[in-house]
Amino acid sequence: MLIRQWRDSDGLAPIKTDERGVHELFNLHHGRQCVYVPPRALPDFGARRRRQYDFPMPFFDQSATPATPGRAPYKNEVVQKWTAAIAQTDGFIFVTPEYNYGTSAVLKNAIDWVYPEWNRKAAGFVSYGSAMGARAVQQLRESAIEVQLAPIRSSVHIPVATLWAHYTGGDVDAGLAELEAPAGAMIDDLLWWTAALKAAR
């Protein structure tokens, strides 16, 4: 199964890592949701999970934006650790809910604290919620372009029925099986663009 969901975040299984690291950025909804790495892809790339609650950053409140030339490094230690994690990464999978036609404030804030470390790297998207999270992904694509990420076309949108089955103890596997093809396409595209952009950088 390329995509699985756990009922709480402590159930996340470890993932093989290496120096090429493609990160998954987790935006967890009340400590629940989700995971998305195809086992078949693990020999090809290292994946590290970065869950937002592991980086409890304040909302951005600095006078100089991350893109400001010559700005001093931000002093917040969590922001520094987050920035370092992004710097060592070559590609990303953003996992997002949709709230009110957009992504969550926590995920947008995490993006906004960083700039040069995002530049010229590939990004894919997995979403859930209203309209399967498609509108949140569209918003994220625009933000990604602004920080000079390269969003890939392929993405994974989890149907509301599958999410509801997850919450009510229904047949989640049937719904997730339908996501095998788009998940595979997304990973293939992400790996291609990650390698191409790494070579170009």
77-124: per-residue pLDDT in tens?
999 999 998 898 888 888 888 989 999 888 899 999 999 999 999 999
Residue spans of alpha helices (H) in 115-179 = 134-146, 160-168, 172-177
Q: Is 87 helix (H, G, I), strand (E, B) or coil?
A: helix
| pLDDT of amino acid 151 | 97
Rounded distance between C-alpha atoms, residue 119 and residue 98, angstroms:
25
Using CB atoms within 10 A of its CB, is residue 96 exposed (0-12), middle (13-18) or buried (19+)? buried
Rounded distance between C-alpha atoms, residue 74 and residue 115, angstroms:
12
Read off the pTM.
0.78
Instruction: Flag whether pLDDT at 128 surpasses 80.
Output: yes
- Considering the four listed CATH numbers 3.40.50.360, 3.30.300.30, 3.90.320.10, 1.10.1060.10, the one that applies to the domain covering 9-200 is 3.40.50.360
Question: Tens digits of per-residue pLDDT, 29-43?
Answer: 333 333 333 333 434
Instruction: Flag whether pLDDT at 135 surpasses 90.
Output: yes
Rounded distance between C-alpha atoms, residue 66 and residue 149, angstroms:
14
| pLDDT of amino acid 16 | 30
Q: Mean of the pLDDT values across residues 171-199?
A: 86
| pLDDT of amino acid 191 | 87
Question: How far, in whole angstroms, is CA 31 from its chain's centroid?
Answer: 16
